[in-house]
Amino acid sequence: MTPPPPRRRPPARRPLRHLLAAALVTALTGLLGVLGVAAPAPAAAAGSLQQVTNFGANPGNLQMYAYVPAGLPANAPLVVALHGCTQSANAYYSNSGWPKFADKWHFAVVFPQTTSANNIQSCFSWFDSTKDTRDKGEAASVRQMVSYAQSAFGSDPKRVYVTGLSAGGGMAADLLADYPDVFAGGSVDSGLPAQCATTLTAASGCQMNNQNLSPGQWGDKVRASYPGYSGPWPRVAIWQGSADYTVYPVNGTELRDQWTDVWGTGQTASSTATLPGNTTESLYDDSSGKPAVALFQISGMGHGLPVDPGSGDEQCGTAGAYFLDTVCSSYYTAKFWGLDGDGGGQPDPGTLPAPTGLKVTATTDTGASLSWNPVSGASSYTVHRNGTKAGTATATSFTDTGLTAGTTYAYTVAATGSDGRTGSPSAAVSATTTGGQSAQCFTATNYAHVAAGRAHTSGGYTYADGSNQNMGLYNVFTTHTLKQTGADTYVIADSGCGS
CB-count burial class (<10 Å; 0-12, 13-18, 19+) for 356: middle
Of all residues in the chain, the percent with pLDDT exceeding 70 is 87
Count of residues making up the chain: 499
- At residue 499, the pLDDT reads 54
- At residue 416, the pLDDT reads 85
Cα torsion 134, 136, 137, 142: sign: positive
Distance (Å, rounded) from C-alpha 302 to C-alpha 458?
25
Catalytic (active-site) positions:
166
Domains of the chain plus CATH, in order, are 16-337 (3.40.50.1820), 359-432 (2.60.40.10), 440-492 (no CATH)
pLDDT at 153 over 90: yes
Amino acid at 132: D
Who has greater pLDDT, 303 or 74?
303
Mean pLDDT of the chain: 86
| All residues at 6 or more sequence positions from 67 whose CB lies less than 8 Å from its CB, including other chains | 44, 48, 49, 50, 93, 98, 99, 102, 108, 109, 111
pLDDT at 494 over 60: yes
pLDDT tens digits, one per residue of 431-487: 888 876 556 888 989 988 988 888 898 888 898 888 889 999 988 888 999 888 776
Amino acid at 387: G
- At residue 338, the pLDDT reads 94
pLDDT tens digits, one per residue of 285-322: 998 889 999 999 999 999 999 999 999 999 999 999 99
- DSSP symbols for 403-431: PPTT-EEEEEEEEEETTS-B-PPPPPEEE
Of all residues in the chain, the percent with pLDDT exceeding 90 is 61
- DSSP symbols for 236-270: EEEEEETT-SSS-THHHHHHHHHHHHHHT--SS-S
Beta bridge partners of 281: 273, 296
pLDDT tens digits, one per residue of 337-382: 999 875 444 444 446 888 999 999 998 888 999 999 999 888 999 8
Who has greater pLDDT, 391 or 255?
255
Q: In this structure, are strands 323-325 and 305-307 parallel, antiparallel, or unpaired?
A: parallel
Beta bridge partners of 307: 325
Amino acid at 259: W
pLDDT tens digits, one per residue of 15-57: 444 334 334 433 433 322 222 223 333 445 456 899 999 999 9
C-alpha radius of gyration, the chain, whole number: 23
Cα torsion 181, 240, 82, 16: sign: positive
DSSP H/E element including 17 = helix 16-25
pLDDT at 147 over 90: yes
Mean pLDDT is lowest, of 173-182, 216-225, 392-401, 417-426, for 417-426
